[in-house]
């Protein structure tokens, strides 16, 4: 259990690193958009090869896979809609749009974005005895642009640096707890149930990418976003083939 927490916290620690980078170095909005595009490509690869493919290998049928995808999608979309109503819709914006939002909603939205990824870390640790290097690297890398973009926007909106840093540290701790939950809750689950959880996370991550990360990337990064997204996908796939 402690190991699952540690791996989940480690993967989310890049949120803190990204925040430090954003606070120390000035980055243009265009650069941040391209960094987000790279992270999106990394996550798309993780969804395809480390979640959906793994789920397909474990399940004896495809019903659980499809159900998991759409359940994850709908749960995330509902949570994102609710958080958006309370002022958390611009949590990844790098231009300071968070100024008009709710601090609690922004924090809750950031937690919502990271929980599916973290639960899978704990689940795969139990199922295989070790965390897949490819998936762990994908989560770690993809967290960097999220934190850089959000931190830049929060700083522009007037948040104190200490407040921003403590927020990301708290979210990393919650991610560790989510990983522990993934390790502890599914120990007696069938392969079909594990496959459902994997695709649930995949559906949630895909919805997060489409709703928040990729629109922000294209708005600020311009037409090079497609190229950089493909680069991120390729890098994550290369790591996957070496795992």
What is the average pLDDT across 35-47?
Answer: 89
| Range of weakest confidence among 26-40, 133-147, 202-216, 221-235 | 133-147
**What percent of the chain has pLDDT above 70?**
92
Q: Report whether pLDDT(129) > 50.
A: no
What is the average pLDDT across 92-113?
Answer: 75
Average pLDDT, the chain: 84
23-33 residue pLDDT tens: 998 888 888 88
Residue 60: CB atoms within 10 Å: 10
Q: What confidence score (pLDDT) does residue 130 get?
A: 44
CA neighbor of 68 nearest in space, from 207, 232, 240: 207
| Range of weakest confidence among 7-16, 64-73, 103-112, 125-134 | 125-134
Residue of 113 and 132 predicted with greater confidence:
113
Q: Report whether pLDDT(207) > 80.
A: yes
pTM given for the model: 0.85
């Amino acid at each position: 259990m402690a190991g699952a927490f540690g791996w989940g916290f480690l993967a989310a620690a890049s949120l803190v690193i990204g925040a430090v980078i954003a606070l120390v170095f000035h980055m243009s909005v265009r650069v941040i958009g391209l960094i987000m595009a790279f992270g999106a490509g990394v996550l798309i690869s993780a969804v395809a090869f480390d979640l959906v493919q793994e789920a397909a290998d474990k399940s004896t049928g495809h019903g659980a896979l499809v159900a998991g995808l759409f359940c994850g999608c709908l749960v995330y979309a509902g949570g994102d809609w609710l958080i958006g109503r309370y002022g958390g819709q611009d949590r990844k914006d790098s231009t300071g749009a968070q100024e008009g939002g709710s601090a609690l909603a922004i924090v809750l939205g950031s937690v919502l974005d990271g929980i599916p990824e973290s639960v899978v870390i704990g689940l795969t640790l139990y199922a295989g005895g070790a965390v897949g290097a490819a998936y762990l690297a994908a989560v770690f890398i993809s967290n960097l642009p999220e934190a850089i973009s959000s931190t830049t926007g929060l700083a522009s909106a007037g948040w104190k640096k200490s407040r921003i840093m403590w927020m990301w540290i708290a979210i990393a701790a919650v991610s560790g707890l989510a990983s522990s939950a993934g390790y502890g809750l599914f120990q007696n689950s069938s392969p079909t149930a594990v496959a459902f959880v994997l695709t649930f996370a995949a559906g949630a991550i895909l919805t997060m990418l489409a709703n928040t990360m990729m629109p922000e990337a294209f708005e600020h990064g311009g037409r090079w976003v497609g190229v950089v997204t493909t680069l991120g996908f390729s890098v994550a796939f290369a790591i996957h083939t070496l795992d």
